[in-house]
Structure 1
Amino acid sequence: MINQTRTTNMLLLIIVIPLVFYLLKTLSFIFIPLVFSMFIALLFLPLMRWLGKRNIPKMASIVIVILLIVLGLWVGVELVKLSSQQIMATKSEFFDKAEVKLFNLKSYLTTTFGVEFKENENVLAQFLQKENLGTTFDFIRKLATSILMTAFFVVLWLAESINMHQLLNTTILKQRHTSVKTFIKIEKDLIKFIKVKFLVSLLTGIGTGLACVVFDVSFPIFWGLFAFAINFVQMVGSFIAVISLAIFAFVELEPSSTLFFFVLSITGVQVLFGAIMEPIFMGKSFSINIITVLVMLMLWGYIWGIPGLIMAIPITVFMKIILEQFPNTKRIANLLSGTT
């Protein structure tokens, strides 16, 4: 009888898990803003409690939090505008350099490896197609919709119209004491993760921008913002930032010791903040097996794309804490963290 029950549960699990992932992918336009807004709300939850202790009404507290978020977005937009102005002011000079470098690279590939390219007066024009404009506008429309939905869900989380504690208590845990303890741990760990990740990403962006200034690489504000944003993608983001900036610097700088030390410096920034400081700040509670990190990045990247890559590790931390609450799944939680 016990074996039959286990077999039935296993078969149900095999059926349910693919169905859940299918729904997550199909309804990504709802789930991405919902999950992302939860992390934002968790980040501002301590501030909400602090304001509540000072007898500030909840609606006023929500307005204060929304204003802080809007202020942060405004600062980000202003930095993007400033970096865009830098790019527009020097684009002709940069594209001239890029054209020469690409032409030399094309000649080398053709001579050495026999690679053929289509003849074009402008090599860069092969990479910029007019039909891509429609895709760009579609992306902007979807991004704007996601931002509005995220803002709506943030208000619901902060107003406790969506109650995580009650949700855990009625769905997964079904024990008041366990659900309270689990919610406190989830809240504490995820707030710590978000704060540390934001701080490390900010320092990485500042360090990358300063390296561009020191070595006279164009668009330091843009590259600082890029390093800050891409650093939220665990592990992969650091490689993308270094490789992208190294390729760009190859156009700007001559192949010499200057280029070598610039690449070395931006790599050092990534190693210092990402590989040394971040694990120290995170602590042992966030120790996740590197294989688990890679698998989760691929899984959530496939399901939700770039937002999935950004939220993969927080979601994994959330799952790990839930799995630790049940004796039958605690072994899986230990497997995720690489412990026995």
Structure 2
Amino acid sequence: MNERKTTNILLLVIVIPLIFYLLKTLSFILIPLTASLFIALLFLPLMRWLTKRKIPNFISIILVLLIFVGAMLVGGEIIKLASKEIIQTQDAFFTKAQIKLTDLVYAIEDFLGVKYMNDGNLLNIFINKDDFGKNFSSTLGLIGNTVTMLLMTAFFVVLWLAESLNFYNVLSGTIFKQKYASVKTFMKIENDLITFVKVKFLVSAFTGLGFGLACYFFNVSFPIFWGLFAFLLNFIQMIGSVVSVVILALFAFVELDPTSTLLFFIITITLVQVLFGSILEPILMGKSFSINVIAILVSLMLWGYIWGVPGLIMSIPITVFLKIIFEQFPQTKLFSTLLSGNSGQIHFSKLKK
């Protein structure tokens, strides 16, 4: 008995690093596959609705693809607008930045009694103004490299919806042997993940809109870019909202009066984040199940290390999926309990109908 237990432990020690290695090595295929699963779950209710109205399956899939492509085109147009906005207004921004940073350094020099700046052009020490637009365009060019992954994701979405890849069959054929258990678990995974994605998208959209409007009314440069930045970063649970507020506040320091306007701006974007992230999101998510804050941080670090930014975005849906699976077996309920916890929790649940 002891020898068997020792063997199992040794196998576990070998298998876990191997799994992590495979997850990282095969990320080029696993990232779009996982993302497509979550996207397909979102479209399942629509597919069922179309099926009830006796619309052929291939027409339903084409409709879903059109929606998917339309969303990508809208996203691409927003990115183009943000790019044009930065390129067109970079000269005005650099002028303001030069004046503000120069005044700040002179004040520090007077206070410390040292001389640091010789040519009076502090900004060029950190940023090459002439190359700023080119570098930003290059950064946007990197976004174009994600087209292949998006196409792969769309391909996998079609496979899921056409049932060439069937998530329910995978569950029933691997993890669950009883049909009732697999159906029940599948429905819970579907409902909870759909709720999470819908609420997160809605909250992130309102947050991005709030940031963009705040930048516009306070005359902070690049409002479209900062709105898009806040929208995307808000998908990273917990840390994304904090990072977006801090970075935008530091950026706004260059353009706004630090004695009054800057303070009001920081309060505004903080209130936007608190209103949508700390008040609206928990209300919409509800309290039917929860994830411990420590589990969220560990999940962010783990999946962020394995899959980078996509891993950070998908870490919470993956954790929710694992938690639901762990709940179904007595042997793994301990792990589910550890993920849930009783303190410092972030709650997710079904939307009230």
**TM-score of the pair, normalised by structure 1:** 0.91
Partner of 1:14: 13
2:214 to 196, 200, 211: 211
2:228 to 225, 228, 237: 225
- SS of equivalent residue, structure 2 residue 38: helix
Greater Cα offset, 80-89 or 263-272: 80-89
Partner of 1:190: 193
**Contact conserved, 1:120 with 1:126, CA < 8 A, in 2?**
no
With over 3 angstroms needed to count, the CA separation of the structure-2 counterparts of 1:258 and 1:137, relative to structure 1, is closer
**What amino acid maps onto 1:293 in structure 2?**
I
1:141 Cα deviation (Å)?
A: 5.6
Partner of 1:75: 74
| Alignment partners' CA distance in 1, 2:169 and 2:209 | 40
With over 3 angstroms needed to count, the CA separation of the structure-2 counterparts of 1:211 and 1:135, relative to structure 1, is closer
Partner of 1:147: 150
| Alignment partners' CA distance in 2, 1:118 and 1:322 | 63
CA RMSD of aligned residues (A): 2.7
| Alignment partners' CA distance in 2, 1:176 and 1:221 | 49
**Contact conserved, 2:101 with 2:122, CA < 8 A, in 1?**
no
Matched pairs, number:
339
Partner of 2:203: 200
**Contact conserved, 2:208 with 2:231, CA < 8 A, in 1?**
yes
**Contact conserved, 1:205 with 1:223, CA < 8 A, in 2?**
yes
Question: Residues 75-110 of structure 1, C-alpha deviation per residue, up to 9 Å, x if partnerless?
Answer: 222222223232222211001112233344555667
| Alignment partners' CA distance in 1, 2:120 and 2:288 | 55
With over 3 angstroms needed to count, the CA separation of the structure-2 counterparts of 1:117 and 1:186, relative to structure 1, is farther
Question: Residues 136-176 of structure 1, C-alpha deviation per residue, up to 9 Å, x if partnerless?
Answer: 58834641221111111111111111111111122222332
| Alignment partners' CA distance in 1, 2:41 and 2:275 | 27
Unaligned runs of 5+ in 2: 344-353
**Contact conserved, 2:100 with 2:255, CA < 8 A, in 1?**
no
Greater Cα offset, 227-236 or 131-140: 131-140
| Alignment partners' CA distance in 2, 1:145 and 1:253 | 41
**Contact conserved, 1:227 with 1:241, CA < 8 A, in 2?**
yes
**What amino acid maps onto 1:292 in structure 2?**
A
2:272 to 269, 272, 280: 269
Partner of 1:314: 317
With over 3 angstroms needed to count, the CA separation of the structure-2 counterparts of 1:219 and 1:136, relative to structure 1, is closer
**TM-score of the pair, normalised by structure 2:** 0.88
| Alignment partners' CA distance in 1, 2:60 and 2:53 | 10
